[in-house]
Structure 1
Amino acid sequence: MKKLIKYICAVSLLLFTQACNDEYLDRLPLDSPSSETFFANETELEMAVTGVYNRLWYSTQGAVWFLSFDFASDDGWDRNGSALQALGRGEQNADNGYTNGFWSAFYRAINRVNFITSGSEELKAKMDPEKYNRLVGEARFLRAYFYAYLAELYGDVPLVITTLSLDEAQTPRTPKSEVIDFVLAELNEVKEYLPMNANDKGKVTKGTVLALISRVALWNERWQEAADAAKELMDSGAYQIDPNYSGMFTFSGNQSPEVIMRINYLRGVTTHNTPRDFLSRMSLGHSNKKPPQDFVDTFDCIDGLPIDKSPLYDTQHPFENRDPRMNYTLVVPGSRLVNWIFETHRDSTLTWEFRGDEKVRVPNIEAQHAYASFTGYLFRKHVDVADYPTNVGASEQSLTIFRLGEVLLNYAEAKVEMNEIDASVYEAINSIRTRESVNMPPIAEGKTQDELRNLIRKERRSELGMEGFRYFDIRRWKIAEDVIPGPVRGRVNRYGAGGWLNEPPIIDPMGTPSYDHISNASEMVVIETRAFNPSRDYLWPIPRIELETNKALTQNPGY
C-alpha cells in the first residue's frame, strides 16, 4: 500500500509540474541529438550518413545478408533448420523470418536516408556544397541500393522517398518498373557528386555507382544502360583485374586494384561470423553453410572443357586439373584447410596435421562427426586463415560487394543480349579467365549469340560463386524452376565405397550437372529435397505483419 501511495504522489507531482510549465513537453533532449535541431553542422550530417552505412552490417540466419541468398540457390545449403532452409525448399510463407527480415532491415535503412534528404537541405548553405553533395549522394546511393534489392525480391514495393507522418503510413505498392526507374535516375544523378575511387574501400564512389547501375540494369533487361555504365567504369582505368583471385576475399582485398567496394567491420563495433559458418570442425568452425556436389561439378578442367568432355578428368582423382577457381572458392577433400588436410569420407578416420615443417597423422573429426560437412565440401571464399583461432567467431575482415570482375561480365552479357558481339565482349570475358592465378584458356571468337549466352552464364557461376549472385541469376534467367527442384546432393560417402562417382555427370551448356545416368548415383549423400513453384516462387511474400498494419498493401500471388 505504501508503494502505491508513493507512486500516486509521484505521478501527481509530475502532472502538477507539467501544468505549471506549458513548455515542458517541448524541451529538447540534453544528452542526445534532437530531430528538431539535428543537421546543425557538418559533423551531424556525417554521423547520419554513417548510420546508413551501418545498415550494411545486417546479418540473418547467422550469415551476412548478401552471402545468405546463395544458400537458397543451387550453389549452397544452410544446415540449420531455419527460415532460410525453408526458402530453399520452397516452403516460405508470409510469416517466414528470413524473407520478412529483409523488408524490415532495408526499409529502416531507407527511412534513415529519407530523414537525411528531408531534413538536411538547410545545412547545404552552411557547409562546403561539394562535401554536402558527396555525403548526401552516398546516402542516396545506399537508398537506391536497398530499393534495388527490395524490387528484385518482392516485385512491386512502396516507393517512399520522404519522411512520412503517421497519417501517410498507409502506402500502396509501386510497380517494380517505376521503382527501377527511380533507382537508375538516382544513381545517374549522384554519380556526378562522387570521386571515381577512394583509398577507403568502404566508401561509396562513382565507381560503386556505375557498378550498381550495370547490375540493376542487367537484372531488369535494360541492356544498353547496363553496357553503358559498365563501359564507363571500364574506360575510366580506375580499376584493374587483380592477378590474385583469392586475395580479393581475404584481409588483403582492401588493397586489391579490382575491388570497388567492401563492407567494413571493426572489432569492438561489429564483426561477422563467416569463418565460423564456413570452416571445418577441426579448424573451430561449424561447417553449417556448405556447397552441394552440383556446384563442385560445374567447374571445368584446365583445358576449358567440362568434366564430362575433358580427357583430363579422372573420376578417381576428380579435383585434379580443374579450374583453379574451384579451389579458391571451395574446400574439397584432400586439400589443406588451416593446419589440416580436409578429408570427409567416412573411412578416413585419420588425417594429416601440419606442425611447422612436420606432418603427423591425427584423428579426423570430419569423417564421422554428426555436424561435420554433410555434403563433403566447404566454402573457402571470404575466409582468411588469419582469423584462426582467436577470431573465428568474430571476424573484422571486410567483405567484397562490388568488383571489376562482375562489371566485366555484366558488360559482356548485356552486349550479347543486344547481339552486339564484338572483340570487346571476348576481351571482357577473357581478361577474367586469363588472370595470372586462374590462367584458364581464353574463349575463342566466332561464337553464336546462344553459345556466348551460355558461356557467360557458366562463367558467372565459376567466377562469382558464393558472392550472392547465383540466387538472382537463376531467377532472372527463369531457370530456377529447372535447377532448384530435386535432391541436394553431397559426395559418395558410404562406408566401404570408393568415395567417387563411377562416371562424370553430364554437364549442360550453362554448367548444370545431371546424375541420372551414373551407375553409383544412389551412393551420393542426399541432404534435402527441394521444390520450386514457378507461378509463385519468383517473388517473395509480403510480410504478414506489413499487410496487417498497412491496409493499402496487397500480397503476391500464391501466398
Structure 2
Amino acid sequence: MISMVVFSSTLLYSCEDYLVKYPLDQPSDATFWSTESELQMAINSVYRSLYFTDRATTHVPFQFLFDFATDISWDRNLSVWQLLGQGQVTSVEPTLIFGAWSNAYVNIGNCNRLLAYMHKAENVTNADTFKRIEAEARFFRAYWYGWLINLYGDVPFTTDPLDVFDAGLPQTDKETIYHFVMEELELAGDMLPEEYPSSDRGRITKGAAWALKARLALFNNDWEIAAEASGKVMALGKYELYSNFDELFTYEGQNNSEELLTIQFSRANQLTHETPIHTRGRLTGGFATKIPTQALIDSYASIDGLSINESPLYDPKNPFENRDPRLNATCVVPGSIFLGYQFETHPDSLQVWDYNQNPPKRIDNQEVINPYATFSGYQYRKYVSSDEREFRRESELNIMLIRYAEILLIYAESHIELGQVDNTVYEAINSVRERAGIPGIEQGKSLEELRQIVRQERKVEFAYEGLRFFDIRRWEIAEDVLSGPLYGRPLGEYKSNHIPEFDENGTPVYEAYAGELRVFDTRIYNPSKDKLLPIPQRELDINSNLTQNPGY
C-alpha cells in the first residue's frame, strides 16, 4: 500500500502537541538529513533494496524467478511462479503481486525522501559525494519505476515524499512514466563516475545507468534509445566479456569485467541468498526446486553452432556430447559430475559414484529414489559454486543483474529492428557466441534471420537470469511458447528418434515422441490479460482511483 508502506519515517503526531514532539523510536525528517554520514546511510539502505525475494519459500533474488513462469524453467514449490506460468495468478496473491508492488513503492518513497531532503546536508557534504548520492537515488527510483510499469502497466506515480494521508494517488499512464525513467537514467549517467576504487565496488556507475536505460528501452520496443544507450556503454571502453563462461557465475569469476549491475552479498554484512540449496539436487544437499526444462536443454546448439536438428555432430543417443559449452556451464545434465557426485536421472540408476571419497564409492542415487528430486531430470549449475558446500543457505556469491553480454545483444537487436545492420552488429553477436565456444555467424543474413539468431542467443545466454519472461512478451510469442506441457528428459533411455523439430520461434516441438518424455506441468497464456500482472486487491480496496488491469 503506497500510503502506508512508503513513508517509513513519518512523523508521529500527538493530538495536543504535534508541532513540537519528534518521534523517539525512528529518524525524523526534521532532524535526520543533516550530515554527510546520514546521506550515506540513506543511500546505502536503498542499495539493499536490490535484494528483494519471497521470504516465505525461497531466498533467491526475485529478478531471476520470473524465468520460472516461462517455457525454459519450472519451480517445484507450490508457489506464485507455478500459478503465473499456468495463467492462474490473482490480485490477492501476496508474495509477488503485492510484494513486488509494495517493495517497489517502499524504495521509490525512500528515494523521493532522500532527494527531497538531502539539500539540508549539502553545505556539510563533499560536493562530489553529494552529486553521486543524488545520482544513485535517481537511478534506483528509475529502476523500481521500470519494474512497476513492465509488470503492472499504468501505476501511481509521484516524485514527492508521501505521508500517511496520501492514499488516493491515481494511475499515470505507462508511457509518461517510461519517458520520466529515460530522462532520469540519462541524468544519472551524466552525473555518475565511470568507476570506483575497489572499496566501493558495486556502486552504480555511469555504465550501469546507461545499461539500465538500454534494457528498459528494449523492453518497451524503443529501438532508437536502446541502440543509443547500449552504444554509449560500449563506447566507454570499461567493460568486456569475461573470457571464461564456466567461471562467470562462480567465486573464481566474481567482480569481473563483464559486471554492470550486481547485488553484492556478504555474510559479514548479514546479506546472503539461498540460490544453491534451491538449485542443487538431493545428493548435494539441495531441494532441486528450481529446474530447467527439456525445451531449454534442446535449445543449446551443437558445438558447430547449428541447432541439434541440423547438426551432423548431434547424437540423440548421447545428447550432451558436442554441444554449446554454455549448456554444461548453465545446467547439470545426466552423465556429468556435479560437486563430486555422478549425476544420473535414468530411473534404473539406483546407485551412482561418490567421488568425494577416496577411493570413490557407490552410493544410493537420491536423484532417482527421492520423490522430490528434480522432476525434469536436470538441474541448474549457475550460481552454484563448489565453495559453498557448507553454506547452501548463506551464499555470498554476487548476483549479476546486468552484464555486458546483454548490452552487446541489446545493441545488435535494436539495430536489427531499426534496419541498421553493419559490421558492428555481427561483431556484437559473434563476440557473445565465440566467447561461449561456438562459431560466429557469417555476414549476409536477412533481418528475419538475424532477429531469430539474437532471440536464440538471449534464450541460452541468459537462462536463469530472469529475462525470458519479458522477452517472450515483448516479442509477442508468449501465446505460442507458453501453450502446452512442460517436458523433461525421456522416461527411459535417450533414443535415436529423440530429435525435436523447431518452430518459427525456436521452440522445440516434441509431437513425434512426446509420450516418451516426462511431463510435470502445463503452461497457459491468455494474451488478453497475462501480459501484465493484476493490481493488488488491497490497493484497489483503499484507493478508489485505481483501475484493475484487464482480465482480472
1:64 to 51, 58, 61: 61
User: Would the aligned equivalents of 2:51 and 2:61 in 1 still touch at CA under 8 Å?
Assistant: yes
Structure 2 counterpart SS, 1:28: coil
- Matches of residues 78-477 of structure 1 in structure 2 within 5 Å? 78-97=75-94, 98-198=96-196, 199=198, 200-267=200-267, 269-355=270-356, 358-388=359-389, 390-435=390-435, 438-477=436-475
- Cα distance between partner residues in 2 of 1:153 and 1:76: 19
Residue type of the alignment partner of 2:73: G
State how far apart, in whole Å, the 2-side matches of 1:501 and 1:522 are: 15
Equivalent in 498, 506, 514 of residue 501 of structure 2: 506
**Partner Cα distance (2:289, 2:469) in 1:** 19
Q: Which amino acid aligns with 2:30?
A: E
How far apart, CA to CA, are the structure 1 residues paired with 2:81 and 2:116? 36
| Secondary structure in 2 matching 1:526 | strand
| Cα 1:201/1:249, change in 2 over 3 Å | farther
Contact 2:254 2:397 in 1 (8 A): no
Match of 2:518 among 514, 521, 525: 525
Tell whether 2:544 aligns with 1:551. Answer: yes
Deviation at 1:362, TM superposition (A): 1.7
Distance across 2 between alignment mates of 1:301 and 1:425: 23
Q: Deviations over 1:273-324 (max 9, x none)?
A: 1001000111000001101111100000011111111111111100000000
Letter in 2 for 1:424: T
Secondary structure of 2:171's match? coil
Moved more, 86-95 or 160-169: 160-169
Counterpart contact for 1:300–1:323, Cα < 8 Å? yes
- Give 1:523 shift: 2.0
Identity score, percent:
42
Determine which structure has more spread, i.e. the larger CA radius of gyration. Answer: 1
CA distance in 2, matches of 1:235, 1:509: 34
- Matching residue's letter, 2:497: N
Q: Cα distance 1:366–1:431, how it changes in 2: closer, same or farther (>3 A)?
A: same
1:201 shift after superposition: 4.0
2 CA distance for matches of 1:445 and 1:201?
39
Distance 1:534 1:188 in 2: 33
Residue 529 of structure 1 aligns to which amino acid in structure 2? Answer: T
CA contact (8 A) 2:528 2:551 kept: yes
Deviation at 1:76, TM superposition (A): 0.7
CA-to-aligned-CA distance 1:437-466 (integer Å, 9 cap, x gap): x22111100001000000000011111111
Higher mean Cα deviation, 292-301 or 248-257?
Answer: 248-257
CA contact (8 A) 2:214 2:410 kept: yes
- Give the secondary-structure state (helix, strand or coil) at the position aligned to 1:434: helix
**Mind listing any 5+ residue stretches in structure 2 that lack a counterpart?**
1-13
Structure 1 unaligned regions, length at least 5: 1-17
For 1:356-380, what per-residue CA distance to the aligned partner results, in whole angstroms no more than 9, with x for missing partners?
6643222111112100000000111
Give distance in 1, aligned partners of 2:89 and 2:17: 51
- Given residue 318 of structure 1, which amino acid in structure 2 is its aligned partner? P
User: TM-score if structure 1 supplies the norm length?
Assistant: 0.92
CA 1:226–1:232 in 2, change beyond 3 Å: closer, same or farther?
same
Q: Are 2:318 and 2:494, in contact at CA under 8 Å, matched by a contact in 1?
A: no
- Whole-Å Cα distance in 2 between the matches of residues 511 and 501 of structure 1? 21
Contact 1:488-1:530 within 8 A present in 2 as well: yes
Is residue 2:61 matched to residue 1:47?
no
Is contact 1:490–1:524 with CA below 8 Å preserved after alignment?
yes
TM-score, length basis structure 2:
0.93
Q: Is the 8 A contact 1:130 1:193 kept in 2?
A: no
* CA-based RMSD: 1.7
- CA distance 1:170–1:240, shift in 2 (3 Å): same
Structure-to-structure mapping, 1:476-495, within 5 angstroms: 476-493=474-491
The amino acid across from 1:451 in the alignment is E
AA aligned opposite 2:115? T
Q: How many residues align?
A: 532
* CA deviation after TM superposition for structure 1 residue 128, in Å: 2.0
Match for 2:542: what amino acid?
A: T
Task: Tell me, in whole angstroms, the C-alpha distance in 2 between the residues paired with 1:457 and 1:472.
Answer: 12
Q: Could you tell me whether the CA contact under 8 Å between 2:71 and 2:523 is conserved in 1?
A: no
C-alpha displacement at 1:227, in angstroms?
A: 0.8
CA shift, 1:26, in A, is 2.8
Partner of 1:77: 74
Instruction: After superposing the two structures, state which structure 1 stretch, 164-173 or 310-319, moved more.
Output: 164-173
**Structure 2 CA distance for aligned equivalents of residues 71 and 453 of structure 1:** 24
Alpha-carbon shift at residue 33 of structure 1 (Å): 3.0
| Matched-pair contact (CA < 8 Å) for 1:201–1:254 | no
Whichever residue aligns with residue 551 of structure 1, its letter is S
User: 1:539 matched to which residue of 2?
Assistant: 532
Q: Residue 314 of structure 2: SS of its match in structure 1?
A: coil
Separation in structure 2 between the aligned mates of residue 250 and residue 400 of structure 1, nearest angstrom: 11
Cα displacement (A) at 1:31:
6.5
8 A contact 1:78–1:289 mirrored in 2: yes
Q: Is the 8 A contact 2:341 2:356 kept in 1?
A: no
Distance in 2 between residues matched to 1:91 and 1:189, nearest whole Å: 40
SS of 1:451's partner is helix
Q: Output the CA distance in 2 between the equivalents of 1:246 and 1:194.
A: 32
